[in-house]
């Protein structure tokens, strides 16, 4: 692991790091905020997964999470959204597919299968690196995300409910198999067998029996993607039928941007902190 930069913030350290990923076969960059803490202390970990076109930089620069993480003693980890590099397949004229649009899945179709392994990277490889290099208590983890990253947070949380104590999201794509973004990405990354798509769809996972103990979702009413791509109501209905303790809140007048995310970020961090202990 190589340190790209570190800056002191709110008494802690905001760092940006890079390493070679065995899963993606590329160099991967991520950011980590470590709050002030006593020597030898182990701190809970909050993962943040970003949305389409984003890297670790978006939330690191605009997310306004550091004060809340310092107050509650939480490590904040922000990975990239896809593999990067000149040898990585891409769809250069498509913002919703290829680089910047990894959808937190392991691709099974060529030419994507070699590099597009973001599920294994987030679930297995990067956590091992965090455990090795940071004062992380890996028995206390939670996960959150935005848009495509909200999809990732919900599905990874549902598939690994024994690992994550709580899951939250801003404007998540909750049912990608029923949305244009998801249908486009899944058909090309995963092939035509729609049965294999279900493990990357929060609504389908819940309908199939997956459960989490605590879920928080904020969705802006002025979000241009709400009706066609995000379909938040389907998640609310699925959670109600499954008896999942989910707070799904419509925030009046907010859009899809980081102005929205930063407004409620500290509240999400506090909510996770209460469940991380």
Catalytic residues: 147, 223, 256
How many Cα atoms are found within 13 Å in the side-chain-facing hemisphere of 99? Answer: 14
CA pair distance 184, 182, nearest whole angstrom: 5
Q: Which residues pair with 95 in a beta bridge?
A: none
How would you class 71 by CB atoms within 10 Å of its CB: exposed for 0-12, middle for 13-18, buried for 19 or more? Answer: middle
User: Which phi and psi (to 5°) does residue 110 adopt?
Assistant: -75, 150
CA 26 to chain centre: 20
How many Cα atoms within 13 Å fall on the side-chain side of residue 53?
A: 7
């Amino acid at each position: 692991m190589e340190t790209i930069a570190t800056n002191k913030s709110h008494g802690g350290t905001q760092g940006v790091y890079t390493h070679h990923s065995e899963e993606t076969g590329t160099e991967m960059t991520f950011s980590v905020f470590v709050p002030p803490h006593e020597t030898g202390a182990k701190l809970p970990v909050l993962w943040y997964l970003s949305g389409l076109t984003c890297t670790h930089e978006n939330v690191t620069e605009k997310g306004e999470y550091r004060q809340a993480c310092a107050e509650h003693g939480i490590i904040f980890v922000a990975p990239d959204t896809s593999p990067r590099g000149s040898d990585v397949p891409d769809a250069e004229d498509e913002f919703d597919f290829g680089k910047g649009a990894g959808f937190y899945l392991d691709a099974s179709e060529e030419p994507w299968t070699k590099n597009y392994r973001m599920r294994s990277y987030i679930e297995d490889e990067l956590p091992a690196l965090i455990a090795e290099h940071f004062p992380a208590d890996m028995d206390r983890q939670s996960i959150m995300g935005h848009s495509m990253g909200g999809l990732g947070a919900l599905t990874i949380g549902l598939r690994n409910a024994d690992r994550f104590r709580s899951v939250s999201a801003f404007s998540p794509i909750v049912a990608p198999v029923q949305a244009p973004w998801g249908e486009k990405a899944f058909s090309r990354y995963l092939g035509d067998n729609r049965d294999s798509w279900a493990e990357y769809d929060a609504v389908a996972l819940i309908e199939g029996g997956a459960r989490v103990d605590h879920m928080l979702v904020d969705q802006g009413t002025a979000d241009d993607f709400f009706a066609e791509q995000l379909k938040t109501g389907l998640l609310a209905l699925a959670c109600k039928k499954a008896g999942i303790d989910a707070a799904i809140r419509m925030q009046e007048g907010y859009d899809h941007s980081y102005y929205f995310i930063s407004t409620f970020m500290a509240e999400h961090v506090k909510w996770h902190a209460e469940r991380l202990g």
